[in-house]
Amino acid sequence: MVIETVHLSKQYGNLQALTDLNLSIDAGKVFGFIGPNGAGKSTTMLILSTLLEQSDGDAYVCGYNVRKDPVSVRQSLGYMPDFFGVYDNLTAVEYLEFYAGAFKIPAPKRRALVADLLELVNLSHKADAFVDSLSRGMQQRLGLARCLVHDPAVLILDEPASGLDPRARIELREIIKQLREMGKTILISSHILPELAELCDDIGVIEQGRLIACGSVHEVSNRDREMSVMQLRALSNQNTAALILDNHSAVSNLEEYMGGLRFYFSGTERQKADLLQELINAQVAVVYFGDAKANLEDVFLSITEGVGG
Ligand SMILES: Nc1ncnc2c1ncn2[C@@H]1O[C@H](COP(=O)(O)OP(=O)(O)OP(=O)(O)O)[C@@H](O)[C@H]1O
């Protein structure tokens, strides 16, 4: 277990921001933290990064207790806050060299390290540009490079994709995938839910300071209400398919979606297999029948609705 929280709670005055949070993330996993504004994601990440003290419970990073051994924790992790300042009178290289110095990387090694980091985040061509002249996407990538100067095993990224355009988000995602391949353990929060589905091994849904669902994307999708969001695409007779689906007791929220049909299915695997058979018997030329790929948003909405009123 590389990241662990045990009955973690935090109060800000009278406000209960985090209640009895139990998380455990194995080495090399990417864990997506999903929740609406104010759910407690940043609070959790700040506690794990030793920048905020919990009110109750414990948190561990690489086996080090955040309260008892904060220095070891800081050496083990790179934390990227949702908002961070960049010093505008520095170039990208100077900025990273400054942080490499802060982490006591010996001076002769800094230059090569910074060059490697800039290459990793696709900013080699901006090495001598002033940081305030970089686009938001580039600044985010520079921020990510900054988290990596001491080669931490763990990365904690608080909404790294917020405020980025789609292309910048894709670039960031590719870098995070590379970091996963390098064996980093990553805790990442986001509002851009479908993006986490591709990136994450597991997700945790948090609302009002409580973890209300946790597991693989698939498990969370099928949890509790046994509800999954499905998609069907057919070469012909899609109208027939729509009629069959509309009349099926386990199907709801049927809609056209990207040239096919999308619907919620709350039934057993057996019912799912029978439904597919029924479609084929009705001469529907099915080319895809399965989980909707970008379904995290629906899962999130279905899980969080009603919690806490
Ligand atoms: N320093 C603080 N003092 C008082 N209340 C705070 C403080 N920081 C956060 N809170 C409150 O704690 C709760 C959890 O906030 P937190 O920032 O952890 O949520 P979040 O899930 O990260 O939300 P967001 O997506 O908006 O960043 C919110 O109700 C917030 O208003």
- The boundaries of the domain holding residue 25 are 3-216
Instruction: Locate the ligand 1 atom nearest the alpha carbon of residue 46 and give its number.
Output: 18
Indicate which atom in ligand 1 lies nearest the CA of residue 39: 21
Distance of CA 38 from the midpoint of ligand 1 (Å): 5
195, 216, 237: which is the final residue of a domain? Answer: 216
pLDDT at site 309: 37
CATH number, domain of 210, equals 3.40.50.300
Q: Is 249 near ligand 1, meaning CB less than 6 Å away?
A: no
Residues 8 and 97 in one domain: yes
Between the CA of 42 and the centroid of ligand 1 the distance, in Å, is 7
**Contacts of 51 by beta carbon, 8 Å cutoff, 6+ apart:** 79
Q: Is 208 in the pocket of ligand 1 (CB under 6 A)?
A: no
Of the candidates 174, 199, 216, which is a domain's last residue? 216
Contacts of residues 263-268 at CB distance under 8 Å and 24 or more positions apart, as own/partner, are 263/229, 263/230, 263/232, 264/227, 264/228, 264/229, 264/230, 264/298, 264/302, 265/227, 265/228, 265/229, 265/230, 266/225, 266/226, 266/227, 266/228, 267/226, 268/226
Number of domains in the chain: 2
> What is the number of the ligand 1 atom nearest to the C-alpha of 35?
21
Q: How far is the CA of 39 from the centre of ligand 1 (A)?
A: 7
309 belongs to a structural domain: no
Distance of alpha carbon 132 from alpha carbon 139, whole angstroms: 8
Those residues with Cβ within 8 angstroms of residue 207's Cβ, 6 or more apart along the chain or in another chain:
35, 36, 39, 304, 307, 308
Q: Which long-range contacts (CB under 8 A, 24 or more apart) does 166-169 make?
A: 167/137, 168/135, 168/136, 168/137, 168/140, 169/195
pLDDT in tens, the chain (309 residues): 999 999 999 999 999 999 999 999 999 999 999 887 888 999 999 999 999 999 999 999 999 999 999 999 999 999 999 876 767 789 999 999 999 999 999 999 999 999 999 999 999 999 999 998 998 889 999 999 999 999 999 999 999 888 787 788 888 888 999 999 999 999 999 865 666 777 888 989 888 899 988 888 777 766 544 567 789 999 989 999 999 999 998 898 898 887 899 888 888 888 899 999 999 999 999 999 998 754 455 556 666 654 443
pLDDT given at position 194: 64
Q: How far is the CA of 209 from the centre of ligand 1 (A)?
A: 9
Pocket test for ligand 1, best of 9, 12, 18, 84 (most atoms within 8 A of CB): 12
Does ligand 1 lie within 6 Å of residue 10's CB atom?
no
What is the bridge-based pairing of β-strands 210-216 and 251-257?
Answer: unpaired
**Residue 102 domain-assigned?**
yes
Asked if residue 239 and residue 113 are part of one domain, the reply reads: no
Any atom of ligand 1 within 6 Å of the Cβ of 41: yes
Entry pTM:
0.76
Q: Residue 92: helix, strand or coil by DSSP?
A: helix
- For ligand 1, the distance from its centroid to the CA atom of residue 40, given in whole angstroms, is 6
- Return the residue whose CA atom lies nearest to atom 5 of ligand 1: 12
Tokens linked to 59: 């948190």
